[in-house]
Amino acid sequence: MRDKISSLNKNLTIAKTTLNTDQKNLDKTKKCLADLTKQNQSKLNVLKSAQSELSKQQTALNIAKSELSKQESQLNRLKAIKNNKSHASKNAEQSLVNAKNDLLKAKQHVLALKNAPRKLEEAKKSLMIAKQKLEEFKKALENANAKLKNAKVKKENAKKEYIKVSEALKVRLASKGSWIQSSGRWWYRHNNGSYTSNGWELINGKWYHFDRSGWMQTGWVKSSGSWYYLNNSGDMQIGWAKVGNSWYYLNGSGAMQTGWFTVSGKWYYAYSSGTLAVNTTTPDGYHVNYNGEWIK
């Protein structure tokens, strides 16, 4: 019995430690979410800046086209001056060179403007990637909250089990007795003639559960909101148990595990029915192998 209480106290300590660890992980996730939000705002600012720059470059393109038209007119005029006025030949040639240089610059400017849409698309892709990361962090935050809630539930269950064991210990210390078989069924009579009904009793180091009439029960039993498994001899099982074709895990208090839980440092997932998930994807999107272990 002392080992049972020690085990329950240990489970309670583990539940508290798990709760603190999940709370720290939740805080880290929230910080990552805040950092990613800042990064997304920066990406959005870059996109807005690129759009504004594109508008400016479009205006500049129109100006450049207008200037190009003027330069072409000037070029034609200078060519006419060169042919008709020999005394203005040098000035016309220089103007022609200048006009060609301006024309080259205008063409380079047009080429730069053509690349502006590509830069805008790159900015859009970066923003899309940032949004996807934001969704991933939101999902991680939701999972952390779910694990935190599960840890709190386990803590409350551990407290209930501690109270249950304490009450059962009082009954055991109060009286001992002997097993009685009747019509193929068993019940336990105390030395004072009383018997346990609709509850648990620790007998010779093993836990048994009796129905309202005082008969020893076997198989699955629900007590205080949790499911327990009693073998054919009636004693409560703990640890891994194969019932039919499915595996179940019963914690140190004998309660059937559901959701995520750890055994020897490995994570497992059990459905609401207690059945272990094996070689599949869990409802929250994680993969487990043929032994039910989470594949990281």
Residue 5: domain span: 1-64+113-174
Question: Model's pTM, two decimal places?
Answer: 0.45
Cα gap 101→105, rounded to integer Å? 6
Q: What pLDDT does 273 receive?
A: 97
Residue 240: CATH number of its domain: 2.10.270.10
Query: Same structural domain for residues 189 and 169?
Result: no
Residue 70 lies in a domain: no
Query: Same structural domain for residues 160 and 204?
Result: no
pLDDT digits (tens, 9 = 90+) for 149-198: 776 777 677 677 667 666 655 555 555 899 999 999 999 999 999 999 99
Q: String of b and e for 99-114 (b: at least 16 CB within 10 Å)? A: beebbeebeebeeebe
Query: Same structural domain for residues 60 and 156?
Result: yes
Query: Same structural domain for residues 192 and 120?
Result: no
The total of structural domains in the chain comes to: 2
Residue 5 lies in a domain: yes
Query: Same structural domain for residues 226 and 280?
Result: yes
Query: Same structural domain for residues 167 and 284?
Result: no
Query: Same structural domain for residues 19 and 124?
Result: yes
Q: Shortest CA distance to 2 belongs to which of 166, 157, 159, 158?
A: 166
Q: What pLDDT does 162 receive?
A: 64
pLDDT digits (tens, 9 = 90+) for 43-94: 778 777 777 887 887 887 788 788 878 888 887 887 777 777 666 567 767 8
